[in-house]
């Protein structure tokens, strides 16, 4: 039987590449994003059974629709990928901007996990993959709110991991270095950033049904040469 995976923020970048990679591996897809045209393009490339939820991940209506479809399709894997980036330092960033980054990158993934978790618990199995960043491992003076959100996500995942194991649920965090996506388009060294297709292949491998191991955290960094 095909497995079903939900990927938030799947209209571009690593989310898009994850959708295509899992489609190639025979998964059923539940895709989320805010850009309807971009999602349509992803679906065309996936060439497989897709359910789509269009909306802001911060909206409760979006979360409710994701839950309804996930329950109907008997979801097996949740990939929390939706996020926004901020490279403003403490002085430059307003408090409202700070709260927005935390809302998208930390509060929304937690809300989505709390909503989907009961589906996994009833089955006593499931996999939650949180797409994090190197900013969740080391502070950067120009990424104040971004680091706060990613450190927070790691802390939540670490605690959830110890709790979820009793329900047969695995929680895996993936810490990504700079990716060759729109986020890095202004960098002079963008061509040497991580290829999102390669990263998607590694993440898909982490989602295999291993009999004797589970992956807690994995760090993917770019080769400098």
For residue range 37-92, what is the model confidence (pLDDT) as tens digits? 999 999 999 988 799 999 999 999 999 999 999 999 999 999 999 999 888 888 88
Taking the chain, what is the end-to-end CA distance rounded to the nearest angstrom?
A: 42
Q: Is the pLDDT assigned to residue 189 strictly greater than 70?
A: no
* Domain ranges (residues) in the chain: 4-220
Q: Is the pLDDT of residue 102 over 80?
A: yes
Structure tokens at 6: 């939900």
Tokens of 86: 């901020």
pLDDT recorded at residue 148: 96
For the stretch 135-173, pLDDT in tens is: 999 999 989 999 999 999 999 999 999 999 999 999 999
DSSP one-letter string for 97-112 = HHHHHHIIIIIHHHHH
pLDDT of residue 210: 86
CATH T-level fold of 4-220? Rossmann fold (3.40.50)
Closest-CA residue to 196 (of 6, 4, 11, 1): 11
The residue with greater pLDDT, 33 or 182, is 33
> The tokens of 162 are what?
């110890």
């Amino acid at each position: 039987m095909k497995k079903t995976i939900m990927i938030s923020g799947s209209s571009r970048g690593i989310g898009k590449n994850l959708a295509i990679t899992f489609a190639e591996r025979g998964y059923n897809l539940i895709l989320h994003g805010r850009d309807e045209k971009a999602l349509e393009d992803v679906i065309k490339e996936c060439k497989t059974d897709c359910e789509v939820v269009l909306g802001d991940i911060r909206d409760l209506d979006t979360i409710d629709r994701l839950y309804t479809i996930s329950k109907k399709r008997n979801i097996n894997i949740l990939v929390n990928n939706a996020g926004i980036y901020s490279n403003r330092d403490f002085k430059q960033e307003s408090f409202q901007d700070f709260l927005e980054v935390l809302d998208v990158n930390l509060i929304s993934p937690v809300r989505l996990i709390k909503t989907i978790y009961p589906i996994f618990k009833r089955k006593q199995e499931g996999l939650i993959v949180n797409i994090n960043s190197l900013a969740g491992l080391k502070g950067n003076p120009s990424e104040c709110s971004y680091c706060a959100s990613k450190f927070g996500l790691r802390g939540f995942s670490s605690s959830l991991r110890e709790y979820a194991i009793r329900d047969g649920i695995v929680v895996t965090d993936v810490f990504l270095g700079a990716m060759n996506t729109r986020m890095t388009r202004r960098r002079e060294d963008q061509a040497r950033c991580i290829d999102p297709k390669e990263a998607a292949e590694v993440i898909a491998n982490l989602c295999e049904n291993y009999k004797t191991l589970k992956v807690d955290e994995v760090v993917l960094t770019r080769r400098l040469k």
